[in-house]
Amino acid sequence: MRRSGGGERRAGGGRRPHQRIQSLIDRALTGDVRAFETLVTEHYGPVHAYAARMVGGQAAEDVAQDVFLRVYRSLHTFRGDASFTTWLFRITHNVCNDYRRRMQREPALRLDGPAPGDDTRSAGQALAAAGEGAGENPELRLESLELHETVQRALMKLSEKHRAVLVLHDMHGFRYDEIKHIVGCSLGTVRSRLHYARRALRQILEEELRGELASLLEERPGRQGAAGGPAPA
Amino acid sequence: MRCSPELLNAYVDGELDEPQRRLVEEHVRRCPRCSAEAAELRALKTVPAAAAAARAPLGPDEEPRRIAGIVGRVRFREAKRQRERTKKRFWQGAALGGAAAAVLVGAVVTSLTVFGPGTPFGAGGPDQDEQVYAAALQAVVAEHSRVALLMDMGVDDWADWPWLGWEDEP
Ligand SMILES: [Zn+2]
Protein backbone atom coordinates (compact mmCIF):
# COMPACT_ATOMS: atom_id res chain seq x y z
CA MET A 1 0.00 0.00 0.00
CA ARG A 2 2.74 2.47 0.79
CA ARG A 3 3.84 2.29 -2.78
CA SER A 4 0.41 2.83 -4.21
CA GLY A 5 1.50 5.87 -6.19
CA GLY A 6 4.80 4.38 -7.23
CA GLY A 7 3.78 3.04 -10.58
CA GLU A 8 3.91 6.45 -12.06
CA ARG A 9 7.62 6.88 -11.92
CA ARG A 10 8.69 3.34 -12.51
CA ALA A 11 8.13 3.50 -16.21
CA GLY A 12 9.77 1.00 -18.48
CA GLY A 13 12.14 -1.23 -16.65
CA GLY A 14 12.36 -3.88 -13.99
CA ARG A 15 13.70 -3.61 -10.51
CA ARG A 16 17.18 -2.63 -11.65
CA PRO A 17 16.93 -0.36 -14.62
CA HIS A 18 20.15 1.43 -13.66
CA GLN A 19 22.42 -0.24 -16.15
CA ARG A 20 20.01 0.11 -19.00
CA ILE A 21 19.41 3.77 -18.18
CA GLN A 22 23.14 4.35 -17.84
CA SER A 23 23.83 2.87 -21.24
CA LEU A 24 21.10 5.06 -22.75
CA ILE A 25 22.73 8.07 -21.13
CA ASP A 26 26.17 7.06 -22.40
CA ARG A 27 24.83 6.75 -25.91
CA ALA A 28 22.97 10.04 -25.67
CA LEU A 29 26.20 11.69 -24.58
CA THR A 30 27.86 10.65 -27.81
CA GLY A 31 25.11 12.40 -29.73
CA ASP A 32 22.82 9.41 -30.19
CA VAL A 33 19.50 11.23 -30.28
CA ARG A 34 17.54 7.99 -30.45
CA ALA A 35 18.86 6.92 -27.08
CA PHE A 36 17.79 10.26 -25.69
CA GLU A 37 14.38 9.83 -27.29
CA THR A 38 13.97 6.56 -25.40
CA LEU A 39 14.81 8.33 -22.15
CA VAL A 40 12.23 11.01 -22.87
CA THR A 41 9.57 8.54 -23.90
CA GLU A 42 9.98 6.53 -20.75
CA HIS A 43 9.88 9.48 -18.40
CA TYR A 44 7.65 12.05 -20.05
CA GLY A 45 4.44 10.90 -18.34
CA PRO A 46 5.62 11.22 -14.72
CA VAL A 47 7.47 14.47 -15.38
CA HIS A 48 4.44 16.01 -17.04
CA ALA A 49 2.18 14.75 -14.25
CA TYR A 50 4.40 16.26 -11.58
CA ALA A 51 4.58 19.55 -13.44
CA ALA A 52 0.79 19.60 -13.82
CA ARG A 53 0.43 19.09 -10.10
CA MET A 54 2.93 21.77 -9.24
CA VAL A 55 2.23 24.54 -11.76
CA GLY A 56 -1.09 23.49 -13.25
CA GLY A 57 -1.97 21.72 -16.45
CA GLN A 58 -1.72 24.83 -18.63
CA ALA A 59 1.99 25.25 -18.09
CA ALA A 60 2.91 21.61 -17.66
CA GLU A 61 3.75 21.06 -21.34
CA ASP A 62 6.19 23.97 -21.41
CA VAL A 63 7.72 22.95 -18.14
CA ALA A 64 8.14 19.33 -19.23
CA GLN A 65 9.82 20.44 -22.44
CA ASP A 66 12.14 22.72 -20.54
CA VAL A 67 12.98 19.88 -18.17
CA PHE A 68 14.05 17.51 -20.93
CA LEU A 69 16.05 20.16 -22.77
CA ARG A 70 17.86 20.89 -19.52
CA VAL A 71 18.36 17.19 -18.97
CA TYR A 72 19.96 16.94 -22.38
CA ARG A 73 22.27 19.86 -21.69
CA SER A 74 23.35 18.50 -18.34
CA LEU A 75 23.41 14.76 -18.97
CA HIS A 76 27.18 14.85 -18.60
CA THR A 77 26.78 16.00 -14.99
CA PHE A 78 24.67 12.99 -14.05
CA ARG A 79 26.50 10.75 -11.61
CA GLY A 80 25.33 7.22 -11.28
CA ASP A 81 25.27 7.43 -7.50
CA ALA A 82 21.86 9.10 -7.59
CA SER A 83 19.05 7.29 -9.29
CA PHE A 84 18.24 8.79 -12.67
CA THR A 85 14.61 9.33 -11.65
CA THR A 86 15.63 11.23 -8.52
CA TRP A 87 18.01 13.35 -10.56
CA LEU A 88 15.34 13.94 -13.20
CA PHE A 89 12.80 14.97 -10.58
CA ARG A 90 15.25 17.29 -8.97
CA ILE A 91 15.54 19.09 -12.29
CA THR A 92 11.78 18.99 -12.73
CA HIS A 93 11.30 20.42 -9.27
CA ASN A 94 13.73 23.25 -10.02
CA VAL A 95 12.15 24.06 -13.37
CA CYS A 96 8.75 24.24 -11.66
CA ASN A 97 10.18 26.62 -9.08
CA ASP A 98 11.79 28.76 -11.77
CA TYR A 99 8.52 28.87 -13.66
CA ARG A 100 6.61 29.98 -10.60
CA ARG A 101 9.15 32.65 -9.79
CA ARG A 102 8.98 33.93 -13.35
CA MET A 103 5.19 34.04 -13.15
CA GLN A 104 5.39 36.02 -9.95
CA ARG A 105 7.72 38.55 -11.54
CA GLU A 106 5.85 38.79 -14.79
CA PRO A 107 2.26 37.81 -14.21
CA ALA A 108 1.43 39.00 -17.72
CA LEU A 109 3.15 35.92 -19.06
CA ARG A 110 0.75 33.71 -17.23
CA LEU A 111 -1.18 31.50 -19.54
CA ASP A 112 -4.68 32.69 -19.03
CA GLY A 113 -7.15 30.16 -17.95
CA PRO A 114 -9.13 29.10 -14.98
CA ALA A 115 -7.79 28.72 -11.48
CA PRO A 116 -4.07 27.90 -11.54
CA GLY A 117 -4.65 24.34 -10.46
CA ASP A 118 -7.09 23.31 -13.10
CA ASP A 119 -5.94 20.79 -15.54
CA THR A 120 -6.02 21.87 -19.14
CA ARG A 121 -9.35 20.32 -19.78
CA SER A 122 -12.56 19.77 -17.92
CA ALA A 123 -13.43 16.27 -16.82
CA GLY A 124 -15.88 16.04 -19.70
CA GLN A 125 -13.30 17.08 -22.30
CA ALA A 126 -10.72 14.80 -20.83
CA LEU A 127 -13.19 11.98 -20.89
CA ALA A 128 -13.91 12.66 -24.54
CA ALA A 129 -10.20 12.84 -25.33
CA ALA A 130 -9.41 9.71 -23.39
CA GLY A 131 -12.15 8.49 -25.64
CA GLU A 132 -13.31 5.07 -25.45
CA GLY A 133 -11.42 4.63 -22.17
CA ALA A 134 -10.38 1.12 -23.09
CA GLY A 135 -13.81 -0.33 -22.52
CA GLU A 136 -14.04 1.18 -19.07
CA ASN A 137 -17.40 2.13 -17.69
CA PRO A 138 -17.66 5.82 -18.62
CA GLU A 139 -19.45 6.64 -15.41
CA LEU A 140 -16.64 5.19 -13.36
CA ARG A 141 -14.17 6.96 -15.57
CA LEU A 142 -15.88 10.29 -15.04
CA GLU A 143 -15.97 9.65 -11.33
CA SER A 144 -12.26 8.99 -11.18
CA LEU A 145 -11.59 12.10 -13.22
CA GLU A 146 -13.69 14.08 -10.80
CA LEU A 147 -11.65 12.65 -7.98
CA HIS A 148 -8.51 13.65 -9.84
CA GLU A 149 -9.76 17.21 -10.25
CA THR A 150 -10.94 17.51 -6.70
CA VAL A 151 -7.56 16.43 -5.42
CA GLN A 152 -5.78 18.70 -7.89
CA ARG A 153 -7.80 21.69 -6.71
CA ALA A 154 -7.02 20.79 -3.13
CA LEU A 155 -3.32 20.40 -3.91
CA MET A 156 -3.16 23.85 -5.41
CA LYS A 157 -4.37 25.27 -2.14
CA LEU A 158 -1.39 23.85 -0.30
CA SER A 159 1.80 25.84 -0.06
CA GLU A 160 4.35 24.89 -2.73
CA LYS A 161 6.65 23.29 -0.22
CA HIS A 162 3.94 21.16 1.30
CA ARG A 163 2.51 20.27 -2.07
CA ALA A 164 5.87 19.13 -3.42
CA VAL A 165 6.53 16.58 -0.68
CA LEU A 166 3.00 15.28 -0.67
CA VAL A 167 2.88 14.87 -4.44
CA LEU A 168 6.32 13.27 -4.54
CA HIS A 169 5.49 10.82 -1.80
CA ASP A 170 1.83 9.97 -2.13
CA MET A 171 1.47 10.34 -5.88
CA HIS A 172 4.88 9.48 -7.28
CA GLY A 173 6.00 6.97 -4.69
CA PHE A 174 9.35 8.53 -3.78
CA ARG A 175 10.85 7.69 -0.43
CA TYR A 176 11.82 10.30 2.13
CA ASP A 177 15.54 10.16 1.38
CA GLU A 178 14.84 10.56 -2.32
CA ILE A 179 12.56 13.52 -1.68
CA LYS A 180 15.31 15.05 0.42
CA HIS A 181 17.53 15.11 -2.68
CA ILE A 182 14.84 16.25 -5.05
CA VAL A 183 13.66 19.15 -2.91
CA GLY A 184 17.02 19.87 -1.34
CA CYS A 185 16.17 19.79 2.35
CA SER A 186 16.79 17.63 5.39
CA LEU A 187 15.06 14.39 6.23
CA GLY A 188 13.43 16.00 9.24
CA THR A 189 12.03 18.71 7.01
CA VAL A 190 10.57 16.15 4.64
CA ARG A 191 8.93 14.47 7.58
CA SER A 192 7.44 17.59 9.08
CA ARG A 193 6.33 19.02 5.75
CA LEU A 194 4.59 15.80 4.93
CA HIS A 195 2.79 15.88 8.23
CA TYR A 196 1.59 19.45 7.72
CA ALA A 197 0.74 18.80 4.10
CA ARG A 198 -1.49 15.88 4.97
CA ARG A 199 -3.16 17.75 7.74
CA ALA A 200 -3.87 20.64 5.40
CA LEU A 201 -5.01 18.35 2.62
CA ARG A 202 -7.43 16.67 4.95
CA GLN A 203 -8.88 19.99 5.99
CA ILE A 204 -9.21 21.23 2.42
CA LEU A 205 -10.83 18.03 1.26
CA GLU A 206 -13.21 18.24 4.15
CA GLU A 207 -14.29 21.72 3.11
CA GLU A 208 -14.40 20.80 -0.51
CA LEU A 209 -16.38 17.64 -0.07
CA ARG A 210 -18.28 18.70 3.03
CA GLY A 211 -19.59 15.53 4.56
CA GLU A 212 -18.42 13.28 1.75
CA LEU A 213 -14.84 12.89 2.86
CA ALA A 214 -15.67 10.43 5.59
CA SER A 215 -17.43 8.16 3.14
CA LEU A 216 -14.66 8.65 0.61
CA LEU A 217 -12.12 7.53 3.16
CA GLU A 218 -14.28 4.60 4.13
CA GLU A 219 -14.72 3.47 0.57
CA ARG A 220 -11.11 3.51 -0.44
CA PRO A 221 -9.84 -0.02 -0.78
CA GLY A 222 -6.64 -1.13 0.85
CA ARG A 223 -7.48 0.20 4.23
CA GLN A 224 -5.66 -1.67 6.94
CA GLY A 225 -6.40 -2.48 10.56
CA ALA A 226 -5.71 0.34 12.94
CA ALA A 227 -2.81 -1.01 14.93
CA GLY A 228 -0.92 -3.10 12.42
CA GLY A 229 2.36 -1.73 11.21
CA PRO A 230 2.82 -0.97 7.54
CA ALA A 231 3.11 -3.97 5.34
CA PRO A 232 6.71 -4.47 4.27
CA ALA A 233 7.16 -3.06 0.81
CA MET B 1 7.11 8.25 24.19
CA ARG B 2 4.66 11.09 23.70
CA CYS B 3 2.26 11.50 20.81
CA SER B 4 4.17 12.65 17.75
CA PRO B 5 2.20 13.25 14.58
CA GLU B 6 5.40 13.56 12.53
CA LEU B 7 6.69 10.21 13.67
CA LEU B 8 3.26 8.78 13.11
CA ASN B 9 3.36 9.86 9.48
CA ALA B 10 6.76 8.33 9.03
CA TYR B 11 5.52 5.19 10.75
CA VAL B 12 2.53 4.89 8.44
CA ASP B 13 4.86 5.45 5.49
CA GLY B 14 7.21 2.71 6.67
CA GLU B 15 10.04 5.24 6.92
CA LEU B 16 11.27 4.57 10.44
CA ASP B 17 14.28 2.48 11.34
CA GLU B 18 13.54 -0.63 13.30
CA PRO B 19 14.03 0.64 16.90
CA GLN B 20 11.96 3.75 16.19
CA ARG B 21 9.32 1.77 14.43
CA ARG B 22 8.93 -0.55 17.40
CA LEU B 23 8.70 2.42 19.73
CA VAL B 24 5.93 4.06 17.72
CA GLU B 25 4.14 0.78 17.24
CA GLU B 26 4.12 0.26 20.97
CA HIS B 27 2.75 3.75 21.49
CA VAL B 28 0.05 3.38 18.88
CA ARG B 29 -1.10 0.20 20.52
CA ARG B 30 -1.70 2.03 23.76
CA CYS B 31 -2.82 5.45 22.56
CA PRO B 32 -6.34 5.47 21.13
CA ARG B 33 -5.84 8.91 19.63
CA CYS B 34 -2.74 7.91 17.68
CA SER B 35 -4.29 4.62 16.75
CA ALA B 36 -7.28 6.40 15.23
CA GLU B 37 -5.01 8.94 13.57
CA ALA B 38 -2.84 6.25 12.03
CA ALA B 39 -5.88 4.56 10.55
CA GLU B 40 -7.06 7.84 9.14
CA LEU B 41 -3.65 8.66 7.70
CA ARG B 42 -3.58 5.35 5.88
CA ALA B 43 -6.95 6.09 4.39
CA LEU B 44 -6.06 9.67 3.56
CA LYS B 45 -2.89 8.59 1.75
CA THR B 46 -4.93 6.58 -0.68
CA VAL B 47 -6.81 9.65 -1.93
CA PRO B 48 -3.93 11.33 -3.79
CA ALA B 49 -2.74 7.89 -4.84
CA ALA B 50 -6.14 7.14 -6.35
CA ALA B 51 -6.20 10.59 -7.95
CA ALA B 52 -2.78 9.92 -9.46
CA ALA B 53 -4.06 6.70 -10.93
CA ALA B 54 -7.08 8.58 -12.28
CA ARG B 55 -4.95 11.22 -13.95
CA ALA B 56 -6.56 12.28 -17.16
CA PRO B 57 -4.28 10.76 -19.78
CA LEU B 58 -2.99 12.92 -22.57
CA GLY B 59 -4.86 12.44 -25.80
CA PRO B 60 -3.76 9.54 -28.00
CA ASP B 61 -1.49 11.66 -30.19
CA GLU B 62 -0.63 14.27 -27.68
CA GLU B 63 2.23 12.65 -25.80
CA PRO B 64 4.04 11.39 -28.93
CA ARG B 65 3.65 14.85 -30.44
CA ARG B 66 5.17 16.50 -27.40
CA ILE B 67 8.00 14.02 -27.23
CA ALA B 68 8.67 14.54 -30.92
CA GLY B 69 8.80 18.27 -30.25
CA ILE B 70 11.48 17.83 -27.61
CA VAL B 71 13.48 15.30 -29.61
CA GLY B 72 13.24 17.50 -32.69
CA ARG B 73 14.83 20.38 -30.84
CA VAL B 74 17.59 18.16 -29.53
CA ARG B 75 18.20 16.78 -33.00
CA PHE B 76 18.50 20.31 -34.36
CA ARG B 77 20.89 21.26 -31.59
CA GLU B 78 22.93 18.13 -32.17
CA ALA B 79 23.15 18.82 -35.91
CA LYS B 80 24.26 22.35 -35.18
CA ARG B 81 26.88 21.13 -32.79
CA GLN B 82 28.13 18.66 -35.34
CA ARG B 83 28.45 21.49 -37.80
CA GLU B 84 30.28 23.66 -35.32
CA ARG B 85 32.72 20.83 -34.88
CA THR B 86 33.15 20.51 -38.63
CA LYS B 87 33.70 24.23 -38.95
CA LYS B 88 36.27 24.18 -36.20
CA ARG B 89 38.09 21.37 -37.91
CA PHE B 90 37.87 23.34 -41.12
CA TRP B 91 39.32 26.47 -39.57
CA GLN B 92 42.15 24.44 -38.22
CA GLY B 93 42.68 23.14 -41.74
CA ALA B 94 42.38 26.65 -43.13
CA ALA B 95 45.02 27.86 -40.72
CA LEU B 96 47.38 25.18 -42.02
CA GLY B 97 46.46 26.09 -45.59
CA GLY B 98 47.13 29.71 -44.75
CA ALA B 99 50.62 28.83 -43.59
CA ALA B 100 51.24 27.01 -46.86
CA ALA B 101 50.01 30.02 -48.80
CA ALA B 102 52.36 32.25 -46.84
CA VAL B 103 55.27 30.02 -47.82
CA LEU B 104 54.12 30.29 -51.41
CA VAL B 105 53.91 34.06 -51.29
CA GLY B 106 57.31 34.08 -49.63
CA ALA B 107 58.67 32.06 -52.54
CA VAL B 108 57.20 34.50 -55.04
CA VAL B 109 58.58 37.49 -53.16
CA THR B 110 61.98 35.80 -52.99
CA SER B 111 61.94 35.12 -56.68
CA LEU B 112 61.09 38.74 -57.29
CA THR B 113 63.90 39.98 -55.06
CA VAL B 114 66.38 37.80 -56.92
CA PHE B 115 65.85 40.14 -59.81
CA GLY B 116 66.56 43.09 -57.58
CA PRO B 117 64.39 45.54 -55.70
CA GLY B 118 62.11 47.86 -57.59
CA THR B 119 61.86 45.53 -60.51
CA PRO B 120 58.35 46.07 -61.89
CA PHE B 121 56.17 43.07 -62.35
CA GLY B 122 56.82 41.61 -65.77
CA ALA B 123 60.23 43.18 -66.01
CA GLY B 124 61.82 39.91 -64.96
CA GLY B 125 60.97 38.38 -68.28
CA PRO B 126 58.53 35.66 -69.30
CA ASP B 127 60.15 33.10 -66.98
CA GLN B 128 59.43 35.07 -63.91
CA ASP B 129 55.86 35.93 -64.96
CA GLU B 130 55.26 32.28 -65.46
CA GLN B 131 56.44 31.58 -61.95
CA VAL B 132 54.07 34.16 -60.50
CA TYR B 133 51.14 32.88 -62.51
CA ALA B 134 51.94 29.33 -61.48
CA ALA B 135 51.89 30.42 -57.86
CA ALA B 136 48.55 32.21 -58.30
CA LEU B 137 47.13 29.19 -60.07
CA GLN B 138 48.29 26.95 -57.29
CA ALA B 139 46.59 29.20 -54.75
CA VAL B 140 43.33 29.01 -56.68
CA VAL B 141 43.57 25.24 -56.90
CA ALA B 142 44.21 25.10 -53.18
CA GLU B 143 41.15 27.23 -52.62
CA HIS B 144 39.07 25.00 -54.83
CA SER B 145 40.14 21.88 -53.07
CA ARG B 146 39.35 23.50 -49.77
CA VAL B 147 35.80 24.20 -50.91
CA ALA B 148 35.53 20.69 -52.26
CA LEU B 149 36.73 19.43 -48.91
CA LEU B 150 34.11 21.57 -47.18
CA MET B 151 31.39 20.19 -49.38
CA ASP B 152 32.54 16.68 -48.69
CA MET B 153 32.32 17.42 -45.02
CA GLY B 154 28.73 18.45 -45.47
CA VAL B 155 29.26 22.15 -44.94
CA ASP B 156 26.71 23.56 -47.31
CA ASP B 157 26.90 27.28 -46.58
CA TRP B 158 30.55 27.71 -47.56
CA ALA B 159 29.53 30.20 -50.23
CA ASP B 160 28.33 32.58 -47.52
CA TRP B 161 31.69 32.69 -45.89
CA PRO B 162 33.08 36.16 -46.46
CA TRP B 163 36.72 35.20 -46.33
CA LEU B 164 36.35 33.28 -49.60
CA GLY B 165 35.55 36.66 -51.08
CA TRP B 166 34.44 35.25 -54.39
CA GLU B 167 31.43 37.53 -54.58
CA ASP B 168 33.63 40.60 -54.48
CA GLU B 169 36.06 39.52 -57.09
CA PRO B 170 35.31 39.08 -60.75
ZN1 LIG C 1 -0.55 9.10 21.00
In CATH, what number does A1-116 get? 1.10.1740.10
- Predicted confidence at residue A105, as pLDDT, reads 82
| pLDDT at res. B106 | 64
Q: Is the pTM of this model over 0.90?
A: no
Residue A107 has pLDDT above 50, yes or no: yes
DSSP chain B: ----HHHHHHHHTT-S-HHHHHHHHHHHHH-HHHHHHHHHHHHHHHHHHHHHHTPPPPPTTHHHHHHHHHHHHHHHHHHHHHHHHHHHHHHHHHHHHHHHHHHHHHHHHHHHHHT-TTPPTTTT-HHHHHHHHHHHHHHHHHHHHHHHHHHHTT---GGG-GGG-TTT--
Structure confidence by residue, pLDDT tens digits, B100-159:
666 666 665 555 555 544 444 555 555 665 665 566 556 555 554 555 555 545 444 444
Write down the pLDDT at residue A164. Answer: 97
pLDDT at A7: 45
Q: Which residue has the higher pLDDT, A124 or A142?
A: A142
C-alpha B32 – ligand 1 centre gap (Å)? 7
**B161: confidence class by pLDDT, cuts 50, 70, 90:** very low
Mean pLDDT over B67-88 rounds to: 84
Q: Using an 8 Å CB-CB cutoff, list chain B residues near A45.
A: 63
- Does A208 have pLDDT greater than 60? yes
- Indicate whether B1 pLDDT > 90: no
- pLDDT over 50 (residue A32): yes
Question: Around ion ligand 1, which residues have CB less than 5 A away?
Answer: B 3, 31, 34
Comparing A148-157, A217-226, B38-47, the range with the smallest average pLDDT is A217-226
Domain range list for chain B: 5-53, 60-115, 124-170
Average pLDDT over residues B1-8: 93
State the best of B20, B21, B74, B82 to mutate against chain A, taking most chain A CBs within 10 Å. B74
Q: What is the pLDDT of residue A26?
A: 94
The topology (CATH level 3) of A137-220 is Arc Repressor Mutant, subunit A (1.10.10)
> CB A170 to CB B48 under 8 A?
yes
> Domain spans of chain A?
1-116, 137-220
pLDDT at A229: 40
Q: Tell me which chain A residues have a C-beta less than 8 angstroms from the C-beta of B3.
A: none
Mean confidence (pLDDT) of chain A: 78
Q: What is the mean pLDDT of chain B?
A: 72
Contact A172 B52 (CB under 8 A): yes
